[in-house]
Structure 1
Amino acid sequence: MSPTSTNWFTNKDLFQYDRQQLKSRIVHIGFGAFHRAHQALITHEMLSQQSSDWGICEVNLMGSEQLIQNLRHQDHCYHVLEKGPQAQTCKTIGSVIESLHPAFDGHQAIIAKLAEPQVAIVSMTITEKGYCIAPATGKLDTNHPLIAHDLAHPDEPQSAIGYIVAGLRARQQAGLDGFTVLSCDNVQGNGHIVQQAVLDYTQKVYPELLEWLKQHVTFPCTMVDRIVPAMTDESLAEITAIIGQADPCAIACEPFRQWVIEDNFIKGHPDWDLAGAEFVDDVVPYEAMKLRMLNGSHSFLAYLGYLAGYPYISEAIANPDFERCIRQLMLKEQVPTLSMPDDTDLEAYAQELLDRFANPSIQHKTWQIATDGSQKLPPRFLNSIQFHLAHHSDCRLLTLAVAGWMRYVGGIDESGQPIDIRDPLADRYREIVASTDDDENRVLALLAIDSIFGQQLPTQKTFVESVISCYMMLKNDGVKETIKCY
């Protein structure tokens, strides 16, 4: 593909549909890398196959002001570079037609957009921490700074939850129906999670809205899958060479993608299945499969791989000992915890994941995956560990993963270099590291973080002793030697 006009984004021949016919029927919160390479791309490909008016309005609530400005400068078009081991494809995406940011447009403009009659879906990719849920309880964290602000100032929200409820209240007051709230984050039961957050928040700020909301809003669960690394200068340069001009909104990703969606929409949905999405009655088994086998393996490689000096997932999995551990982690420790349809080939799925991890064209940083561990540990490791404890079965690699996370949040890698810990609980980790010796006392202090581990797991003697043993082995023998032994 090469541009045939001065600016590629003014070239109407790039699209098989008329962008002028699109309406902002979807408002998406979180114009990040994953959304650009997944939902917006799939919507674009759906539009290319049928006459439809399903356009997207993008909303970023905090930060990324320059990204939104760049997007507007390009008439809301951007590129996705799909990078396979042998070939790559660059696609120009046109499904986005509008954007908003409180820094430019103010709170009320976003609430007003959510209240427009044509809006049928409010989707989001805001990461686990964006739901402001306490992981151990599954309830809204009213002490979260964003939620605390929104409870005091509901007309000027800062959180995604606050905006959604404000928009629903505006619709109810205008005599309109509601919309579907569609979470597209890697959170097990993501529809249930956002529903709980919305209901808890509504109960506190607008209790009179609660019954209307229960009748006029749906919260489907989804399972999303595509490896989308943070953008690099190298990938940006590749895209510039392909299209002939710079695109600061571009993103690179692997060719594989999957989107499984619970078919529970209050005002209809795009025919995303034309572009490979799958509508099902129950997403939960697929979510658990992906979170435990793919995301759990990713986090294992992220913490232990980073400590061992591997900057990228493909480098870590190239170590035969890591590869064997990941295969065993998936098939021996995660698969027994799953309840999948009978025709699901989990061995083939595991091999497909190993092949995807090994793709050298995707430079997925271990450090990137290691962020926000406090939100990721429960669905990726701890729920499976609880299963094994209840069934008296082996989970030594899951336990090693927890110990690897503990070594990682200690803040120093095996070369003695500081680690840039990015996590909502980073200050808590630093306090623990400063107040404990690097031994079982640090393990016990970390296990005492009940927002991660809850009340029951730290009382399980077998688990605690196993974590301590793994932790001390990692400390004394190093990651690579420990992995070899396992």
Structure 2
Amino acid sequence: MPVKLSQTTLRHLPANVAGPKYDRAALTPGILHFGVGNFHRAHQAVYLDDLFNEGRDHDWALVGAGVFEGEKVGREKLAEQDFLTTVVEQDEGHMAARVTAAMTDFLVPGDTDAIISRLADPKIRIVSLTITEGGYFIDPASGKFNPAHPNIVSDASNPEAPKTVFGLILAGLARRRVEGTPAFTVMSCDNIPHNGHVTADAVIGLAQLSDPDFARWVAENVAFPNGMVDRITPATTDRERKLLVQEFGLEDNWPVFCEPFRQWVLEDNFPTGRPALEAVGVTFVKDVSPFELMKIRILNGGHATIAYPAGLMDIHFVHEAMQEPLVRDFLAKLERDEIIPTVPPVPGVVLEDYFKLIEKRFSNPKIGDTVRRLCLDGSNRQPKFIIPTIADRLKAGKDVSGLALESALWCRYCFGTTDSGALIEPNDPNWERLQKTARAAKDDPSAWLAMEDIYGKVGRSPVFAAAFAHALRTLWKIGTAETLKRYLGGTL
């Protein structure tokens, strides 16, 4: 019989599953985290678990929080097993499972009073976020905070009853200000360029709408360190739950399967203290920007590069996409010809070696990462991972034919059918708009680039518009595979 994960069974885990070496009852929370999903539980929570296993910093445990109704499902799954998580690392020839216990509680999403009270607790010295690229209320074209978003307008009008993460953060800070408690540090763990600055813009920008004096206090007292995070972590399905039982004899409502590789680079800007994460592999630097740009353009841009051709060719898993020579070679050519040349030198890193590592990671057959996940939310991801690279290439007068093809592949995907005619289910918060625009672009490619909020100046570039139109028309005329052949052969 498999062991059902819980605090009671923690001492009786299967022999091939590692458990925490520390007394969980001795932990006290120091971090409140918004966005308790797979990535957080495979990344920040694992680093903290490692640190606690070293016998250090037991006053930096995690408390989870959320704002969306849908997050209650995840909370219930974790509550049933006392907020424990099984993390399974996999690649060819390697599979290891561990149970992490760094999270001691998960506040009910939407319980505003409980969340604000915990945010005001002096023991909470860091508030961290994994709320996805779309959670920061950024105008895609400008990259700036959008104060006109309805959710932001609502929180500005009702600061005592906030509905957004940033409104809750401000409510917690307001109470700390009144009570004389030092402000916590706000730490983004999302894949966004300059994520600390972006978070500061959202928090301070929201405060500015209702209380300029308070906004100044926040700007003067709250630290927003930039950081770069990396670990490929697919969504959990019944496949992973069954595999955990079969391979390890353990039942977990919501296990996390991930690659062995992980990386975290952080600016060391934590006025009220931080855990000694450098002891477990986190790199602290004065400036994260070089690492951040490298990762966002080469890895996240690389994901986008393989996602849409693979989706149009009915390829299900990411490692299967990397086994298709046309997709793998498209990635390699676009990276080396157009993406990597836009990345400045990174201390201690050879960019070609970094890209080869990424190719290996994308090819990992054990992860089960899906092409559909990579295709998700292009309307938020393209403006962060691809379009800035296009802008830099255009500014330098360099070729953008490969990047134009990537953008055309995204447009073609949003039409809603693969090359074989199979239906593509909605895969973006703005799917209805994207699909309507993609259908108009079949006959008039300029319709796609006219999405000013996504493309901005890039969409108005005659050079890019011509390359995009040619790529899109070619995709419709001869299909994805033949178009990739032409691009790779230099005849597109």
Task: State the secondary structure of the residue aligned to 1:140.
Answer: coil
Counterpart residue number, 1:481: 482
Cα distance in 2 for partners of 1:186, 1:396 equals 26
Is the Cα–Cα contact under 8 Å of residues 399 and 463 in structure 1 kept in the other structure?
yes
Distance 1:8 1:256 in 2: 31
Query: 1:48-91 CA deviation, whole Å, 9 max, x = no partner?
Result: 11332210001122112122122122121110010111110001
Match of 1:459 in 2: 460
Cα gap change, 1:5/1:344 in structure 2, threshold over 3 Å: closer, same or farther?
A: closer
Matched, 1:72 2:79: yes
Look up the match of 1:205: 210
Does the C-alpha gap of structure 1 residues 124 and 437 become closer, same or farther in structure 2, counting only changes over 3 Å?
closer
Deviation at 1:336?
1.3
Whether 2:156 is the aligned partner of 1:155: answer no
Compute the displacement of 1:242 (Å).
4.6
Aligned to 2:383: 378
Residue 253 of structure 2 aligns with an amino acid whose one-letter code is: P
Residue 421 of structure 1: CA displacement?
2.6
Q: How does 1:45-124 map to 2 (within 5 A)?
A: 45-52=50-57, 53-62=59-68, 63-103=70-110, 106-124=111-129
- 3-state SS, counterpart of residue 86 of structure 2: strand
Matched residue type, 1:86: G
What TM-score do the two structures reach when normalised by structure 1?
A: 0.94
* TM alignment of 1:109-188, pairs within 5 A: 109-188=114-193
**Residue deviations 1:392-425 (CA, integer Å, cap 9, x gap):** 1122221111111111111121121221233232
Following the alignment from structure 2 to structure 1, what is the Cα–Cα distance between the partners of residues 425 and 109?
29
Letter in structure 1 aligned against 2:454: I
Query: Relative to structure 2, which stretch is displaced further, 242-251 or 127-136?
Result: 242-251
* Secondary structure class of the residue paired with 2:142: coil
Does residue 34 of the first structure (1) align with residue 36 of the second (2)?
A: no
Mapped contact 2:190–2:229 kept (Cα < 8 A):
yes
Q: Which amino acid aligns with 1:60?
A: G
Query: Residues 356-412 of structure 1: CA distance to partner in whole angstroms, max 9, x if unpaired?
Result: 111111111111111111111122111111111111112222111111111111112
Counterpart CA distance in 1 for 2:136 and 2:5 is 42
- The one-letter code of the counterpart of 1:65 is K
Cα deviation 1:323-357 (Å, max 9, x = unaligned): 22211222221121111235421111111111111
Q: Contact 1:9 / 1:74 at 8 angstroms: preserved in 2?
A: no
| Inter-partner Cα distance in structure 2 for 1:420 and 1:44 | 38
SS at 1:56's partner residue? strand
Cα distance, 1:243 vs. partner? 4.7
Relative to structure 1, the CA distance from residue 367 to residue 174 in structure 2 (aligned partners, 3 Å threshold; closer, same or farther) is same
Identity of aligned residues (%): 35
On the 8 A contact 2:6/2:81 being kept in 1, the answer is no
Contact 2:313 2:481 in 1 (8 A): yes
Aligned equivalent of 1:419: 424
User: Contact 1:25–1:55 (CA<8 Å) still a contact in 2?
Assistant: yes
Deviation at 1:29, TM superposition (A): 0.2
1:409 corresponds, among 389, 411, 414, to 414
Distance in 1, matches of 2:11 and 2:207, equals 45
1:482 & 1:200 partners in 2: Cα distance?
A: 45
Distance across 2 between alignment mates of 1:344 and 1:8: 45
Select the residue among 209, 221, 224 that pairs with 2:226: 221
Shift of 1:102: 3.4
**Superposed displacement of residue 11, structure 1:** 2.3
- Matched to 1:438, the amino acid is K
Answering whether residue 252 of structure 2 is matched by residue 250 of structure 1, we say no
Aligned length: 479
Q: Quote the Cα distance in structure 2 between the aligned partners of 1:154 and 1:9.
A: 43
Q: Distance in 2 between matches of 1:478 and 1:75?
A: 51
SS of equivalent residue, structure 1 residue 148 = helix
> Are positions 1:291 and 2:296 aligned together?
yes
Partner of 1:82, secondary structure, is: strand
Question: Is contact 2:205-2:215 (8 Å) kept?
Answer: no
| 1:445 corresponds to | 447
2: distance between equivalents of 1:417 and 1:6? Answer: 42
Deviation at 1:166, TM superposition (A): 1.2
Structure 1 residues 12 and 40, CA gap change in structure 2 (3 angstroms): farther
Mapped partners of 1:292, 1:4: distance in 2: 41
Aligned residues of 1:131 and 1:194 also touching (Cα < 8 A): yes
Q: Does 1:388 align with 2:387?
A: no
What SS is found at the alignment partner of 1:477?
helix
2:61 is matched by which residue type in structure 1?
G
CA distance in 1, matches of 2:9, 2:173: 34
RMSD: 1.9
Q: What do the CA deviations read for 1:209-266 (whole angstroms, capped 9, x no partner)?
A: 1222122111111111111011122221121235534211211001111111111112
Matched, 1:191 2:196: yes
Aligned residue for 2:330, secondary structure, equals helix
Letter in 2 for 1:453: Y
The residue type equivalent to 1:313 in the other structure is: V
Counterpart of 2:30 in 1: which secondary structure? strand
